[in-house]
Structure 1
Amino acid sequence: MRLFRPRGRDDAEQNTRSPLAQATALYKAGRHAEAEAEARAVAAARSRPRDDVFAPLALGMAALATGAQGRNAEACAGYDALLPVFGRIYGAEHPLTLKLRSDRAQTLSALSRHAECEAECAAVARAATRGTAPEMPLIAAAARNGQVYALTAQGRHTEGEALAREALAAHRIPDRLTLVLRLGLARSLNGQARHDEALAEAERADELRRGLPETSAALRPAPSNWPWPPPSWGWAAVPRPTPGPRPPMMPVGPPSVRTTAAPSRPGRCSTASTALDRAHRAGGRDAQL
Protein backbone atom coordinates (compact mmCIF):
# COMPACT_ATOMS: atom_id res chain seq x y z
CA MET A 1 0.00 0.00 0.00
CA ARG A 2 1.30 3.46 -0.72
CA LEU A 3 2.04 5.59 2.29
CA PHE A 4 3.04 9.07 3.40
CA ARG A 5 2.19 12.48 2.16
CA PRO A 6 4.73 14.94 0.75
CA ARG A 7 6.02 17.06 3.59
CA GLY A 8 6.40 20.38 1.80
CA ARG A 9 8.21 22.37 -0.81
CA ASP A 10 11.72 21.50 0.32
CA ASP A 11 11.02 17.78 0.29
CA ALA A 12 9.32 18.04 -3.09
CA GLU A 13 12.39 19.77 -4.50
CA GLN A 14 14.64 17.09 -3.01
CA ASN A 15 12.51 14.37 -4.57
CA THR A 16 12.59 16.14 -7.93
CA ARG A 17 16.39 16.00 -7.82
CA SER A 18 16.40 12.38 -6.69
CA PRO A 19 18.10 9.80 -8.92
CA LEU A 20 14.84 7.89 -8.65
CA ALA A 21 12.65 10.70 -9.98
CA GLN A 22 12.32 9.19 -13.45
CA ALA A 23 11.58 5.69 -12.16
CA THR A 24 9.01 7.18 -9.80
CA ALA A 25 7.27 9.05 -12.61
CA LEU A 26 7.13 5.88 -14.72
CA TYR A 27 5.71 3.89 -11.83
CA LYS A 28 3.08 6.55 -11.15
CA ALA A 29 2.08 6.38 -14.80
CA GLY A 30 1.59 2.63 -14.58
CA ARG A 31 4.56 1.95 -16.86
CA HIS A 32 5.91 -0.70 -14.55
CA ALA A 33 8.31 -2.47 -16.90
CA GLU A 34 10.01 0.83 -17.72
CA ALA A 35 10.04 1.81 -14.05
CA GLU A 36 11.72 -1.48 -13.19
CA ALA A 37 14.37 -1.01 -15.89
CA GLU A 38 15.05 2.57 -14.81
CA ALA A 39 15.30 1.61 -11.13
CA ARG A 40 17.71 -1.21 -11.90
CA ALA A 41 19.83 1.16 -13.97
CA VAL A 42 19.99 3.59 -11.04
CA ALA A 43 20.95 0.75 -8.69
CA ALA A 44 23.72 -0.41 -11.03
CA ALA A 45 25.07 3.11 -11.45
CA ARG A 46 25.17 3.66 -7.68
CA SER A 47 26.48 0.27 -6.57
CA ARG A 48 29.63 1.99 -5.32
CA PRO A 49 30.21 3.02 -2.59
CA ARG A 50 28.74 0.20 -0.54
CA ASP A 51 26.68 2.52 1.67
CA ASP A 52 25.07 4.60 -1.09
CA VAL A 53 21.49 4.80 0.19
CA PHE A 54 19.95 5.20 -3.27
CA ALA A 55 21.16 1.81 -4.53
CA PRO A 56 19.00 -0.26 -2.13
CA LEU A 57 16.11 2.18 -2.52
CA ALA A 58 16.33 1.70 -6.28
CA LEU A 59 16.33 -2.08 -5.89
CA GLY A 60 13.32 -1.80 -3.61
CA MET A 61 11.51 0.17 -6.29
CA ALA A 62 12.55 -2.42 -8.86
CA ALA A 63 11.06 -5.18 -6.70
CA LEU A 64 7.87 -3.16 -6.33
CA ALA A 65 7.60 -2.70 -10.08
CA THR A 66 8.39 -6.38 -10.62
CA GLY A 67 5.50 -7.39 -8.38
CA ALA A 68 3.21 -4.92 -10.17
CA GLN A 69 3.88 -6.93 -13.34
CA GLY A 70 2.77 -10.14 -11.65
CA ARG A 71 6.26 -11.59 -11.19
CA ASN A 72 5.69 -12.12 -7.50
CA ALA A 73 8.24 -14.86 -6.83
CA GLU A 74 10.96 -12.71 -8.37
CA ALA A 75 9.79 -9.69 -6.37
CA CYS A 76 9.85 -11.71 -3.15
CA ALA A 77 13.41 -12.86 -3.85
CA GLY A 78 14.38 -9.22 -4.35
CA TYR A 79 12.89 -8.24 -1.00
CA ASP A 80 14.62 -11.16 0.72
CA ALA A 81 17.98 -9.95 -0.58
CA LEU A 82 17.28 -6.35 0.47
CA LEU A 83 16.09 -6.92 4.03
CA PRO A 84 19.57 -7.38 5.58
CA VAL A 85 20.84 -4.38 3.60
CA PHE A 86 18.05 -2.12 4.88
CA GLY A 87 18.60 -3.43 8.40
CA ARG A 88 22.30 -2.57 8.19
CA ILE A 89 21.81 0.91 6.73
CA TYR A 90 18.64 2.07 8.47
CA GLY A 91 18.09 -0.25 11.43
CA ALA A 92 15.56 -3.01 12.03
CA GLU A 93 12.67 -0.73 13.05
CA HIS A 94 13.25 2.24 10.77
CA PRO A 95 10.14 3.21 8.73
CA LEU A 96 11.87 2.26 5.48
CA THR A 97 12.79 -1.19 6.78
CA LEU A 98 9.28 -1.79 8.08
CA LYS A 99 7.79 -0.64 4.79
CA LEU A 100 10.02 -3.06 2.92
CA ARG A 101 8.87 -5.86 5.19
CA SER A 102 5.25 -4.93 4.50
CA ASP A 103 5.90 -4.95 0.78
CA ARG A 104 7.40 -8.42 1.08
CA ALA A 105 4.47 -9.61 3.20
CA GLN A 106 1.97 -8.52 0.57
CA THR A 107 3.99 -10.38 -2.04
CA LEU A 108 3.77 -13.48 0.13
CA SER A 109 0.00 -13.10 0.04
CA ALA A 110 0.08 -12.83 -3.75
CA LEU A 111 1.97 -16.14 -3.69
CA SER A 112 -0.81 -17.66 -1.52
CA ARG A 113 1.58 -17.86 1.45
CA HIS A 114 -1.11 -16.36 3.64
CA ALA A 115 0.05 -17.65 7.03
CA GLU A 116 3.49 -16.14 6.46
CA CYS A 117 1.91 -12.88 5.32
CA GLU A 118 -0.27 -12.76 8.42
CA ALA A 119 2.69 -13.30 10.76
CA GLU A 120 4.87 -10.70 9.05
CA CYS A 121 2.12 -8.07 8.88
CA ALA A 122 1.41 -8.60 12.57
CA ALA A 123 5.12 -8.18 13.40
CA VAL A 124 5.36 -5.00 11.31
CA ALA A 125 2.25 -3.55 12.97
CA ARG A 126 3.70 -4.24 16.43
CA ALA A 127 7.03 -2.65 15.54
CA ALA A 128 5.34 0.39 14.00
CA THR A 129 3.18 0.81 17.09
CA ARG A 130 6.35 1.03 19.19
CA GLY A 131 7.87 3.66 16.90
CA THR A 132 7.65 7.42 17.23
CA ALA A 133 8.28 8.54 13.64
CA PRO A 134 5.29 10.36 12.10
CA GLU A 135 4.95 7.66 9.43
CA MET A 136 4.51 4.87 11.96
CA PRO A 137 0.71 5.04 12.55
CA LEU A 138 0.08 4.72 8.83
CA ILE A 139 2.58 1.88 8.48
CA ALA A 140 0.82 0.09 11.33
CA ALA A 141 -2.62 0.59 9.78
CA ALA A 142 -1.44 -0.57 6.37
CA ALA A 143 0.16 -3.67 7.90
CA ARG A 144 -3.08 -4.48 9.70
CA ASN A 145 -4.88 -4.22 6.37
CA GLY A 146 -2.57 -6.88 4.95
CA GLN A 147 -3.15 -8.99 8.06
CA VAL A 148 -6.93 -8.72 7.63
CA TYR A 149 -6.65 -9.98 4.08
CA ALA A 150 -4.38 -12.86 5.11
CA LEU A 151 -6.76 -13.90 7.90
CA THR A 152 -9.80 -13.97 5.64
CA ALA A 153 -7.83 -15.80 2.94
CA GLN A 154 -7.28 -18.54 5.52
CA GLY A 155 -10.99 -18.67 6.35
CA ARG A 156 -10.49 -16.99 9.73
CA HIS A 157 -13.27 -14.50 9.10
CA THR A 158 -14.17 -13.70 12.71
CA GLU A 159 -10.57 -12.71 13.46
CA GLY A 160 -10.42 -10.72 10.23
CA GLU A 161 -13.59 -8.85 11.16
CA ALA A 162 -12.29 -7.97 14.63
CA LEU A 163 -8.99 -6.69 13.29
CA ALA A 164 -10.62 -4.71 10.49
CA ARG A 165 -12.94 -2.98 12.96
CA GLU A 166 -10.01 -2.23 15.28
CA ALA A 167 -7.99 -0.75 12.40
CA LEU A 168 -10.94 1.34 11.18
CA ALA A 169 -11.49 2.69 14.70
CA ALA A 170 -7.82 3.75 14.87
CA HIS A 171 -7.70 5.21 11.33
CA ARG A 172 -10.56 7.67 10.90
CA ILE A 173 -9.31 9.52 7.83
CA PRO A 174 -11.68 9.07 4.85
CA ASP A 175 -8.95 7.91 2.47
CA ARG A 176 -8.01 4.92 0.37
CA LEU A 177 -6.70 2.99 3.36
CA THR A 178 -10.12 3.30 4.97
CA LEU A 179 -11.63 2.17 1.68
CA VAL A 180 -9.64 -1.07 1.56
CA LEU A 181 -10.15 -1.72 5.27
CA ARG A 182 -13.89 -1.50 4.66
CA LEU A 183 -13.50 -3.96 1.80
CA GLY A 184 -11.64 -6.30 4.14
CA LEU A 185 -14.43 -5.96 6.67
CA ALA A 186 -17.04 -6.69 4.00
CA ARG A 187 -15.10 -9.76 2.92
CA SER A 188 -14.88 -11.09 6.47
CA LEU A 189 -18.61 -10.54 7.04
CA ASN A 190 -19.45 -12.25 3.78
CA GLY A 191 -17.29 -15.21 4.81
CA GLN A 192 -19.50 -15.56 7.89
CA ALA A 193 -22.65 -15.52 5.70
CA ARG A 194 -23.64 -12.15 7.21
CA HIS A 195 -24.62 -10.95 3.78
CA ASP A 196 -26.73 -7.90 4.67
CA GLU A 197 -23.92 -6.50 6.80
CA ALA A 198 -21.39 -7.28 4.08
CA LEU A 199 -23.54 -5.46 1.52
CA ALA A 200 -23.84 -2.45 3.83
CA GLU A 201 -20.04 -2.27 4.17
CA ALA A 202 -19.63 -2.67 0.41
CA GLU A 203 -22.01 0.23 -0.16
CA ARG A 204 -20.13 2.36 2.39
CA ALA A 205 -16.91 1.56 0.57
CA ASP A 206 -18.45 2.52 -2.77
CA GLU A 207 -19.76 5.78 -1.27
CA LEU A 208 -16.28 6.56 0.04
CA ARG A 209 -14.78 5.70 -3.36
CA ARG A 210 -17.09 8.20 -5.06
CA GLY A 211 -16.06 10.90 -2.59
CA LEU A 212 -12.31 10.44 -3.06
CA PRO A 213 -10.39 12.75 -5.39
CA GLU A 214 -9.77 11.13 -8.73
CA THR A 215 -6.01 11.15 -8.17
CA SER A 216 -6.34 9.26 -4.90
CA ALA A 217 -7.18 6.15 -6.86
CA ALA A 218 -3.97 6.29 -8.85
CA LEU A 219 -0.49 5.26 -7.88
CA ARG A 220 1.52 8.09 -6.44
CA PRO A 221 5.04 8.49 -5.17
CA ALA A 222 4.90 7.59 -1.54
CA PRO A 223 4.68 5.74 1.75
CA SER A 224 4.37 1.23 0.39
CA ASN A 225 3.53 0.20 1.42
CA TRP A 226 2.05 0.36 3.89
CA PRO A 227 3.07 1.68 1.98
CA TRP A 228 2.75 1.61 2.49
CA PRO A 229 0.86 4.81 1.08
CA PRO A 230 -4.10 10.00 3.93
CA PRO A 231 -5.67 11.34 0.80
CA SER A 232 -2.19 11.34 -0.75
CA TRP A 233 -0.17 8.13 -0.68
CA GLY A 234 2.88 10.10 -1.62
CA TRP A 235 6.57 10.29 -0.98
CA ALA A 236 8.16 11.35 2.26
CA ALA A 237 11.73 12.24 2.91
CA VAL A 238 13.32 10.29 5.74
CA PRO A 239 16.31 11.01 7.98
CA ARG A 240 19.49 9.97 6.24
CA PRO A 241 21.61 7.46 8.15
CA THR A 242 24.85 8.59 6.51
CA PRO A 243 26.09 11.86 5.00
CA GLY A 244 24.83 12.50 1.52
CA PRO A 245 21.58 13.25 -0.30
CA ARG A 246 18.44 12.81 1.74
CA PRO A 247 16.67 9.72 0.34
CA PRO A 248 12.93 9.71 -0.33
CA MET A 249 10.55 7.02 0.75
CA MET A 250 10.16 4.35 -1.88
CA PRO A 251 6.91 4.27 -3.77
CA VAL A 252 4.51 1.77 -2.40
CA GLY A 253 1.71 0.02 -4.12
CA PRO A 254 -1.88 0.19 -2.93
CA PRO A 255 -3.04 -1.94 -0.03
CA SER A 256 -3.74 -5.58 -0.59
CA VAL A 257 -7.35 -5.82 -1.67
CA ARG A 258 -9.27 -8.27 -3.77
CA THR A 259 -12.89 -7.88 -4.72
CA THR A 260 -15.01 -9.44 -2.04
CA ALA A 261 -17.30 -12.20 -3.13
CA ALA A 262 -20.72 -10.68 -3.55
CA PRO A 263 -23.32 -11.47 -0.91
CA SER A 264 -25.55 -14.24 -2.12
CA ARG A 265 -28.92 -12.81 -1.17
CA PRO A 266 -31.25 -13.06 -4.20
CA GLY A 267 -31.82 -9.74 -5.92
CA ARG A 268 -28.97 -8.01 -4.11
CA CYS A 269 -25.96 -9.86 -5.50
CA SER A 270 -25.60 -7.52 -8.48
CA THR A 271 -25.71 -4.41 -6.30
CA ALA A 272 -23.05 -5.75 -3.96
CA SER A 273 -20.84 -6.90 -6.79
CA THR A 274 -21.03 -3.51 -8.49
CA ALA A 275 -20.22 -1.66 -5.25
CA LEU A 276 -17.27 -3.89 -4.50
CA ASP A 277 -15.91 -3.81 -8.02
CA ARG A 278 -15.98 -0.02 -8.08
CA ALA A 279 -14.39 0.28 -4.65
CA HIS A 280 -11.82 -2.32 -5.62
CA ARG A 281 -10.73 -0.27 -8.63
CA ALA A 282 -10.36 2.80 -6.43
CA GLY A 283 -8.36 0.87 -3.85
CA GLY A 284 -6.07 -0.55 -6.48
CA ARG A 285 -4.71 -3.97 -7.43
CA ASP A 286 -3.31 -6.43 -4.91
CA ALA A 287 0.10 -5.05 -4.11
CA GLN A 288 2.51 -3.87 -1.51
CA LEU A 289 1.64 -1.74 1.45
Structure 2
Amino acid sequence: MFAILAPSLGLKAQQEQQLVALHQRYHSAAAMSAQGRLAEAEREFREVVILSSRIFGKEHPDTLVSRSDLAATLAGEGKYAEAEKENRAVLTIRMGVLGPEHPDTLLSRNNLAAALQELGKKAEAVREYRTVMAVRQRVLGAEHLETLESRNNLATALHDQGKYAEAEKGHRSVLEVRERLLGAEHPKTLASRNNLAAVLQEQNRPAEAEQEHRAILTLREQVLGPRHTDVFLTCFNLALCLEAQSKFSEALAFMQRAQTGFKQQLGAIHPHTQFAAESMQRIAAELKK
Protein backbone atom coordinates (compact mmCIF):
# COMPACT_ATOMS: atom_id res chain seq x y z
CA MET A 1 0.00 0.00 0.00
CA PHE A 2 1.36 3.39 -0.97
CA ALA A 3 1.66 5.54 2.13
CA ILE A 4 0.98 9.21 2.55
CA LEU A 5 2.42 11.25 5.36
CA ALA A 6 -0.10 12.87 7.67
CA PRO A 7 -0.45 16.66 7.81
CA SER A 8 0.39 16.50 11.52
CA LEU A 9 4.05 15.90 10.65
CA GLY A 10 4.44 19.60 10.12
CA LEU A 11 4.80 19.64 6.38
CA LYS A 12 4.14 22.87 4.59
CA ALA A 13 0.85 23.21 2.74
CA GLN A 14 2.58 22.89 -0.64
CA GLN A 15 4.30 19.68 0.42
CA GLU A 16 1.03 18.28 1.71
CA GLN A 17 -0.61 19.03 -1.63
CA GLN A 18 2.21 17.26 -3.45
CA LEU A 19 1.74 14.18 -1.28
CA VAL A 20 -2.01 14.14 -1.86
CA ALA A 21 -1.48 14.44 -5.62
CA LEU A 22 1.14 11.68 -5.55
CA HIS A 23 -1.18 9.44 -3.56
CA GLN A 24 -3.98 10.00 -6.08
CA ARG A 25 -1.73 9.36 -9.07
CA TYR A 26 -0.46 6.12 -7.57
CA HIS A 27 -3.96 4.78 -7.01
CA SER A 28 -4.99 5.93 -10.48
CA ALA A 29 -2.10 3.94 -11.97
CA ALA A 30 -2.99 0.91 -9.86
CA ALA A 31 -6.61 1.11 -11.05
CA MET A 32 -5.48 1.31 -14.68
CA SER A 33 -3.34 -1.78 -14.18
CA ALA A 34 -6.19 -3.70 -12.56
CA GLN A 35 -8.46 -2.78 -15.46
CA GLY A 36 -5.93 -4.06 -17.99
CA ARG A 37 -5.04 -0.58 -19.26
CA LEU A 38 -1.39 -1.46 -19.01
CA ALA A 39 0.15 1.10 -21.38
CA GLU A 40 -1.59 3.92 -19.50
CA ALA A 41 -0.61 2.37 -16.17
CA GLU A 42 3.02 2.16 -17.23
CA ARG A 43 3.15 5.84 -18.15
CA GLU A 44 1.51 6.84 -14.88
CA PHE A 45 3.71 4.60 -12.72
CA ARG A 46 6.82 6.08 -14.36
CA GLU A 47 5.66 9.56 -13.38
CA VAL A 48 4.86 8.37 -9.86
CA VAL A 49 8.35 6.89 -9.49
CA ILE A 50 9.95 10.17 -10.56
CA LEU A 51 7.81 12.22 -8.18
CA SER A 52 8.20 9.78 -5.29
CA SER A 53 11.99 9.73 -5.73
CA ARG A 54 12.01 13.52 -5.62
CA ILE A 55 9.78 13.77 -2.52
CA PHE A 56 10.82 10.72 -0.47
CA GLY A 57 14.13 9.62 -1.96
CA LYS A 58 15.11 6.72 -4.21
CA GLU A 59 15.40 4.18 -1.38
CA HIS A 60 12.19 5.07 0.44
CA PRO A 61 9.74 2.14 0.76
CA ASP A 62 7.01 4.06 -1.09
CA THR A 63 9.29 4.73 -4.03
CA LEU A 64 10.22 1.05 -4.13
CA VAL A 65 6.55 0.03 -4.06
CA SER A 66 5.95 2.22 -7.10
CA ARG A 67 8.96 0.75 -8.90
CA SER A 68 7.83 -2.77 -8.06
CA ASP A 69 4.36 -2.03 -9.45
CA LEU A 70 5.95 -0.53 -12.55
CA ALA A 71 7.93 -3.75 -13.03
CA ALA A 72 4.75 -5.82 -12.66
CA THR A 73 3.04 -3.66 -15.27
CA LEU A 74 5.97 -4.08 -17.67
CA ALA A 75 5.74 -7.85 -17.21
CA GLY A 76 2.01 -7.69 -17.90
CA GLU A 77 2.77 -5.92 -21.18
CA GLY A 78 5.20 -8.65 -22.16
CA LYS A 79 8.23 -6.39 -21.64
CA TYR A 80 10.03 -9.07 -19.67
CA ALA A 81 13.60 -7.83 -20.14
CA GLU A 82 12.64 -4.40 -18.78
CA ALA A 83 10.74 -6.06 -15.95
CA GLU A 84 13.79 -8.16 -15.05
CA LYS A 85 16.02 -5.08 -14.96
CA GLU A 86 13.58 -3.12 -12.78
CA ASN A 87 12.98 -6.03 -10.40
CA ARG A 88 16.74 -6.59 -9.97
CA ALA A 89 17.25 -2.91 -9.14
CA VAL A 90 14.43 -2.90 -6.58
CA LEU A 91 15.61 -6.20 -5.09
CA THR A 92 19.15 -4.88 -4.60
CA ILE A 93 17.88 -1.86 -2.67
CA ARG A 94 15.40 -3.86 -0.61
CA MET A 95 18.05 -6.41 0.32
CA GLY A 96 20.25 -3.61 1.67
CA VAL A 97 17.54 -1.55 3.34
CA LEU A 98 15.05 -4.18 4.54
CA GLY A 99 17.06 -7.40 4.72
CA PRO A 100 16.76 -10.72 2.87
CA GLU A 101 13.67 -12.03 4.71
CA HIS A 102 11.47 -8.95 4.66
CA PRO A 103 8.15 -9.61 2.85
CA ASP A 104 8.85 -6.86 0.32
CA THR A 105 12.28 -8.33 -0.44
CA LEU A 106 10.73 -11.75 -0.99
CA LEU A 107 8.09 -10.20 -3.23
CA SER A 108 10.85 -8.67 -5.36
CA ARG A 109 12.61 -12.04 -5.63
CA ASN A 110 9.34 -13.68 -6.61
CA ASN A 111 8.67 -11.05 -9.28
CA LEU A 112 12.22 -11.35 -10.58
CA ALA A 113 11.78 -15.12 -10.86
CA ALA A 114 8.56 -14.59 -12.85
CA ALA A 115 10.38 -12.34 -15.33
CA LEU A 116 13.24 -14.83 -15.62
CA GLN A 117 10.74 -17.61 -16.30
CA GLU A 118 9.13 -15.65 -19.13
CA LEU A 119 12.57 -14.95 -20.60
CA GLY A 120 13.34 -18.66 -20.72
CA LYS A 121 15.88 -18.54 -17.88
CA LYS A 122 14.18 -21.54 -16.34
CA ALA A 123 16.84 -22.90 -14.00
CA GLU A 124 17.49 -19.47 -12.48
CA ALA A 125 13.76 -18.93 -12.04
CA VAL A 126 13.38 -22.26 -10.22
CA ARG A 127 16.26 -21.40 -7.87
CA GLU A 128 14.68 -18.05 -6.99
CA TYR A 129 11.25 -19.60 -6.43
CA ARG A 130 12.71 -22.33 -4.20
CA THR A 131 14.54 -19.75 -2.09
CA VAL A 132 11.45 -17.60 -1.65
CA MET A 133 9.27 -20.61 -0.86
CA ALA A 134 11.67 -21.93 1.76
CA VAL A 135 11.78 -18.59 3.61
CA ARG A 136 8.03 -18.02 3.42
CA GLN A 137 7.31 -21.55 4.58
CA ARG A 138 9.64 -21.16 7.57
CA VAL A 139 8.49 -17.67 8.52
CA LEU A 140 4.80 -17.72 7.55
CA GLY A 141 3.86 -21.40 7.53
CA ALA A 142 3.06 -23.91 4.80
CA GLU A 143 -0.53 -22.76 4.27
CA HIS A 144 -0.05 -19.00 4.35
CA LEU A 145 -1.39 -17.38 1.18
CA GLU A 146 2.02 -16.01 0.22
CA THR A 147 3.61 -19.42 0.75
CA LEU A 148 0.92 -20.97 -1.44
CA GLU A 149 1.73 -18.40 -4.12
CA SER A 150 5.37 -19.47 -4.00
CA ARG A 151 4.45 -23.15 -4.17
CA ASN A 152 2.21 -22.43 -7.16
CA ASN A 153 4.91 -20.43 -8.92
CA LEU A 154 7.51 -23.13 -8.36
CA ALA A 155 5.17 -25.76 -9.80
CA THR A 156 4.62 -23.56 -12.85
CA ALA A 157 8.37 -23.14 -13.33
CA LEU A 158 8.87 -26.90 -13.04
CA HIS A 159 6.21 -27.31 -15.72
CA ASP A 160 8.23 -25.02 -17.98
CA GLN A 161 11.28 -27.21 -17.35
CA GLY A 162 9.34 -30.25 -18.54
CA LYS A 163 9.16 -31.78 -15.05
CA TYR A 164 5.46 -32.51 -15.46
CA ALA A 165 4.96 -35.15 -12.76
CA GLU A 166 6.57 -32.93 -10.12
CA ALA A 167 4.59 -29.92 -11.38
CA GLU A 168 1.31 -31.86 -11.27
CA LYS A 169 1.99 -32.93 -7.69
CA GLY A 170 2.72 -29.35 -6.69
CA HIS A 171 -0.39 -27.93 -8.36
CA ARG A 172 -2.65 -30.58 -6.83
CA SER A 173 -1.25 -29.82 -3.39
CA VAL A 174 -1.79 -26.07 -3.73
CA LEU A 175 -5.26 -26.56 -5.23
CA GLU A 176 -6.37 -28.68 -2.28
CA VAL A 177 -5.34 -26.01 0.23
CA ARG A 178 -6.73 -23.10 -1.80
CA GLU A 179 -10.10 -24.81 -2.20
CA ARG A 180 -10.23 -25.38 1.54
CA LEU A 181 -9.09 -21.89 2.56
CA LEU A 182 -10.48 -19.69 -0.22
CA GLY A 183 -13.36 -21.64 -1.73
CA ALA A 184 -13.90 -23.28 -5.10
CA GLU A 185 -14.69 -20.06 -7.00
CA HIS A 186 -11.87 -17.84 -5.75
CA PRO A 187 -9.64 -16.55 -8.59
CA LYS A 188 -6.56 -18.09 -6.96
CA THR A 189 -8.29 -21.47 -6.77
CA LEU A 190 -9.27 -21.19 -10.41
CA ALA A 191 -5.69 -20.28 -11.30
CA SER A 192 -4.51 -23.50 -9.63
CA ARG A 193 -7.10 -25.50 -11.58
CA ASN A 194 -5.92 -23.83 -14.79
CA ASN A 195 -2.29 -24.67 -14.05
CA LEU A 196 -3.16 -28.27 -13.22
CA ALA A 197 -5.12 -28.63 -16.46
CA ALA A 198 -2.17 -27.25 -18.43
CA VAL A 199 0.10 -29.91 -16.92
CA LEU A 200 -2.42 -32.63 -17.79
CA GLN A 201 -2.38 -31.39 -21.38
CA GLU A 202 1.42 -31.59 -21.49
CA GLN A 203 1.23 -35.20 -20.30
CA ASN A 204 -0.90 -36.13 -23.31
CA ARG A 205 -4.15 -36.19 -21.34
CA PRO A 206 -6.13 -33.70 -23.47
CA ALA A 207 -9.57 -35.12 -22.67
CA GLU A 208 -9.01 -34.59 -18.93
CA ALA A 209 -7.57 -31.14 -19.58
CA GLU A 210 -10.50 -30.23 -21.84
CA GLN A 211 -13.04 -31.17 -19.18
CA GLU A 212 -11.17 -29.12 -16.59
CA HIS A 213 -10.79 -26.06 -18.83
CA ARG A 214 -14.50 -26.09 -19.70
CA ALA A 215 -15.39 -26.04 -16.00
CA ILE A 216 -12.84 -23.28 -15.34
CA LEU A 217 -14.17 -21.19 -18.23
CA THR A 218 -17.70 -21.30 -16.85
CA LEU A 219 -16.57 -20.25 -13.39
CA ARG A 220 -14.18 -17.54 -14.61
CA GLU A 221 -16.90 -15.99 -16.76
CA GLN A 222 -19.20 -15.92 -13.73
CA VAL A 223 -16.62 -14.64 -11.25
CA LEU A 224 -14.46 -12.35 -13.40
CA GLY A 225 -16.74 -11.42 -16.29
CA PRO A 226 -16.53 -12.49 -19.93
CA ARG A 227 -13.85 -9.95 -20.93
CA HIS A 228 -11.25 -10.66 -18.26
CA THR A 229 -7.77 -11.67 -19.45
CA ASP A 230 -7.95 -14.92 -17.44
CA VAL A 231 -11.10 -15.87 -19.37
CA PHE A 232 -9.25 -15.42 -22.65
CA LEU A 233 -6.34 -17.46 -21.28
CA THR A 234 -8.75 -20.31 -20.55
CA CYS A 235 -10.16 -20.03 -24.07
CA PHE A 236 -6.61 -20.30 -25.40
CA ASN A 237 -5.82 -23.38 -23.30
CA LEU A 238 -9.12 -25.04 -24.16
CA ALA A 239 -8.46 -24.45 -27.86
CA LEU A 240 -5.12 -26.23 -27.56
CA CYS A 241 -6.80 -29.22 -25.91
CA LEU A 242 -9.42 -29.37 -28.66
CA GLU A 243 -6.74 -29.06 -31.34
CA ALA A 244 -4.86 -32.00 -29.81
CA GLN A 245 -8.03 -34.09 -30.22
CA SER A 246 -8.54 -32.95 -33.85
CA LYS A 247 -11.64 -30.94 -32.91
CA PHE A 248 -10.44 -28.19 -35.19
CA SER A 249 -13.65 -26.26 -35.80
CA GLU A 250 -14.39 -25.70 -32.11
CA ALA A 251 -10.69 -25.14 -31.40
CA LEU A 252 -10.57 -22.33 -33.98
CA ALA A 253 -13.60 -20.61 -32.44
CA PHE A 254 -12.07 -20.59 -28.96
CA MET A 255 -8.65 -19.53 -30.25
CA GLN A 256 -10.22 -16.66 -32.18
CA ARG A 257 -12.00 -15.50 -29.04
CA ALA A 258 -8.70 -15.66 -27.15
CA GLN A 259 -6.79 -13.75 -29.82
CA THR A 260 -9.42 -11.02 -30.08
CA GLY A 261 -9.55 -10.65 -26.31
CA PHE A 262 -5.78 -10.56 -25.90
CA LYS A 263 -5.48 -7.95 -28.64
CA GLN A 264 -8.08 -5.73 -26.99
CA GLN A 265 -6.78 -6.14 -23.44
CA LEU A 266 -3.02 -6.53 -23.93
CA GLY A 267 -2.29 -5.07 -27.36
CA ALA A 268 -1.30 -6.48 -30.73
CA ILE A 269 2.38 -7.00 -29.93
CA HIS A 270 1.93 -8.85 -26.63
CA PRO A 271 3.31 -12.43 -26.78
CA HIS A 272 -0.11 -13.87 -25.83
CA THR A 273 -1.74 -12.06 -28.75
CA GLN A 274 0.90 -13.13 -31.23
CA PHE A 275 0.96 -16.74 -30.08
CA ALA A 276 -2.84 -16.93 -30.34
CA ALA A 277 -2.71 -15.48 -33.87
CA GLU A 278 -0.10 -18.07 -34.90
CA SER A 279 -2.20 -20.84 -33.36
CA MET A 280 -5.27 -19.63 -35.27
CA GLN A 281 -3.36 -19.93 -38.54
CA ARG A 282 -2.17 -23.41 -37.67
CA ILE A 283 -5.66 -24.64 -36.72
CA ALA A 284 -7.24 -23.00 -39.77
CA ALA A 285 -4.73 -24.83 -41.96
CA GLU A 286 -5.77 -28.14 -40.41
CA LEU A 287 -9.41 -27.39 -41.21
CA LYS A 288 -8.56 -26.95 -44.89
CA LYS A 289 -6.91 -30.34 -45.21
Query: How high is the TM-score relative to the length of structure 1?
Result: 0.67
1:64 corresponds to 2:72:
yes
> Which structure is larger by alpha-carbon Rg, 1 or 2?
2
Q: 2:195 aligns with which of 161, 168, 184?
A: 184
Q: 2:40 aligns with which of 34, 53, 56?
A: 34
1:114, 1:150 within 8 Å by CA — same for their partners in 2?
yes
Partner of 2:237: 259
Partner of 2:159: 152
Partner of 1:249: none
Partner of 2:13: none
* Percentage of identical aligned residues: 25
2:213, 2:237 within 8 Å by CA — same for their partners in 1?
no
Inter-CA distance 269–196: structure 2 relative to 1 (3 Å threshold):
farther
CA distance in structure 2 between the aligned counterparts of 1:169 and 1:269, rounded to whole angstroms: 34
Q: 1:102 aligns with which of 97, 101, 110?
A: 110
SS for the counterpart of 1:92 is coil
CA distance in structure 2 between the aligned counterparts of 1:212 and 1:272, rounded to whole angstroms: 25
CA shift for structure 1 position 78 = 0.7
1:140 corresponds to 2:151:
no
CA distance in structure 1 between the aligned counterparts of 2:165 and 2:227, rounded to whole angstroms: 30
Which string of whole-angstrom CA distances, capped at 9 and with x for unpartnered residues, describes residues 54-76 of structure 1?
A: 11111112212222222210110
2:140, 2:147 within 8 Å by CA — same for their partners in 1?
no
CA distance in structure 2 between the aligned counterparts of 1:258 and 1:125, rounded to whole angstroms: 29
Q: 2:175 aligns with which of 165, 168, 171?
A: 168
Q: Give aligned pairs, total.
A: 232
1:25 aligned partner, one-letter code:
A
CA shift for structure 1 position 50 = 5.2
CA distance in structure 1 between the aligned counterparts of 2:225 and 2:110, rounded to whole angstroms: 26
Partner of 2:84: 76
1:262, 1:269 within 8 Å by CA — same for their partners in 2?
no
2:34 aligned partner, one-letter code:
K
SS for the counterpart of 1:93 is coil
SS for the counterpart of 2:99 is coil
Which string of whole-angstrom CA distances, capped at 9 and with x for unpartnered residues, describes residues 23-54 of structure 1?
A: 21232233323322322222222325454221
Structure possessing the higher relative contact order (Cα contacts under 8 Å, 6 or more residues apart): 1
Partner of 2:136: 128
SS for the counterpart of 2:162 is coil
Partner of 2:61: 53
SS for the counterpart of 1:46 is helix
1:86 corresponds to 2:94:
yes
Inter-CA distance 118–269: structure 2 relative to 1 (3 Å threshold):
farther
1:118, 1:147 within 8 Å by CA — same for their partners in 2?
yes
1:22 aligned partner, one-letter code:
S
Partner of 2:208: 197
1:202, 1:272 within 8 Å by CA — same for their partners in 2?
no
1:190 aligned partner, one-letter code:
Q
Which string of whole-angstrom CA distances, capped at 9 and with x for unpartnered residues, describes residues 146-191 of structure 1?
A: 2222222222111111111011112112312221211211121122
Which string of whole-angstrom CA distances, capped at 9 and with x for unpartnered residues, describes residues 73-130 of structure 1?
A: 0110111111021223333222222222222111112111222222222222222222
Query: How high is the TM-score relative to the length of structure 2?
Result: 0.67
Q: Where does the alignment leave 5 or more consecutive residues of structure 1 unmatched?
A: 5-13, 220-254
2:58, 2:64 within 8 Å by CA — same for their partners in 1?
no
CA shift for structure 1 position 215 = 9.7
1:91 aligned partner, one-letter code:
G
Partner of 2:12: none
